[in-house]
Amino acid sequence: MRCPECGTLMNKHAEKPVMVTGDEIILAIHCCPKCGKVESEELSGI
């Protein structure tokens, strides 16, 4: 994933299972090493 602010390749540092309307998904968290921007990405559940 590229940072929407500066275009730098973001670092995925976390995954967390969360419930969204009754379905479990994995929320992946990415951080920009240049500007610190945080982005999340929804992945299919385990």
Partner 1 sequence: MSQTRPLSIPVILGTTRKGRMSSHAAQFMWDELRKRDGIVTELIDIRTLNLVVDDAGEAIKDPRFSEAMERADAVIIVTPEYNHGSPGLLKHVLDSCHKEYIHKPAGIVGVSAGPFGGSRVIENLLPILRELGLVSIFWDVNFGNVYKAFDPSGQLLDEAYIRRAAKFIGELIWMAKVLRYGREQVTL
Sites of contact with partner 1 (CB under 8 A): 11-16, 18, 27, 29, 31-40
CB of 43 to partner 1, least distance (A): 12
Number of Cβ atoms within 10 Å of the Cβ of 41:
14
How far is Cα 36 from Cα 46, in angstroms, rounded to an integer?
28
How far is Cα 20 from Cα 42, in angstroms, rounded to an integer?
10
The residue among 33 and 45 lying less far from partner 1, judged by its C-beta, is: 33
CB of 35 to partner 1, least distance (A): 8
CB of 44 to partner 1, least distance (A): 17
